[in-house]
A and B are shown apart, each in its own frame.
Chain A
Amino acid sequence: AQSVSQHNHHVILSEAASLELGCNYSYGGTVNLFWYVQYPGQHLQLLLKYFSGDPLVKGIKGFEAEFIKSKFSFNLRKPSVQWSDTAEYFCAVNAGATNKLIFGTGTLLAVQP
């Protein structure tokens, strides 16, 4: 069965620190990969997505992610976080014809000013 693992459940950083959130998935075929963010009290929003092509994907608000097929990974990075990045981050995989998303359990990021 397809699954997504996010290794960091709760991350606390100071402003300007660098961020890397891990995401691994289990599926042997072609996948589409996503990072969604949920700010407090808001809906899930897409940060970035990978379908094909350049494995280094740039998203909104300075976030990027790298797809490493051999490691089944799609880690999220940001060189310098801001207080406004405080949110919950979800990695998701879409495999198959139904566009069904498999989500990880999420990483709660708290950025201290």
Chain B
Amino acid sequence: ETGVTQSPTHLIKTRGQQVTLRCSSQSGHNTVSWYQQALGQGPQFIFQYYREEENGRGNFPPRFSGLQFPNYSSELNVNALELDDSALYLCASSNRAILNTEAFFGQGTRLTVV
């Protein structure tokens, strides 16, 4: 167990809808990153949040947005869902104050867009 929890575990949405995914970071961690893992692919970096601000973004359109809260938990919001958004969404937390440390991943949210 990593201490990183994500909710919900599974979700089915219709194309054009909006979705919010949630992540609680591991105790002591101040940085949250989100990844999208399509079937048969490795995780792709969406963005990272540190001190409640976006701190780095991958090649994802603006309809992917996020938030980080004072308790370091985070949300990933996706607007205007497309069929290709169907994937496993992973949250990873880490502590930016510690050098040479790794990210710890949650179990993910499986999003299906129909």
- Report A's interface with B, CB cutoff 8 A: 4, 6, 32, 34, 36, 42-46, 49, 51-52, 90, 92, 96-106
Query: Are A49 and B108 in contact, CB atoms less than 8 angstroms apart?
Result: no
Query: Are A103 and B105 in contact, CB atoms less than 8 angstroms apart?
Result: no
Q: How many residues of B contact A (CB 8 A)?
A: 27
A103 to B94, CA, bound (A): 17
Contact with A43, one of B2, B42, B48, B56 (Cβ below 8 angstroms): B2
Decide yes or no whether B27 CB sits under 8 A from chain A. Answer: no
Residue of B nearest to A50 (CB): B100
Query: Are A34 and B102 in contact, CB atoms less than 8 angstroms apart?
Result: yes
* Cβ–Cβ < 8 Å partners of B55 in chain A: 98
* Cβ–Cβ < 8 Å partners of A45 in chain B: 2, 105
Q: A43-B106, A49-B102 are in contact. Are A99 and B94 (CB under 8 A)?
A: yes
Contact with B103, one of A4, A51, A52, A101 (Cβ below 8 angstroms): A101
Query: Are A99 and B103 in contact, CB atoms less than 8 angstroms apart?
Result: yes
* Cβ–Cβ < 8 Å partners of B102 in chain A: 34, 46, 49
A32 to B98, CA, bound (A): 14
* Cβ–Cβ < 8 Å partners of B56 in chain A: 96-98, 100
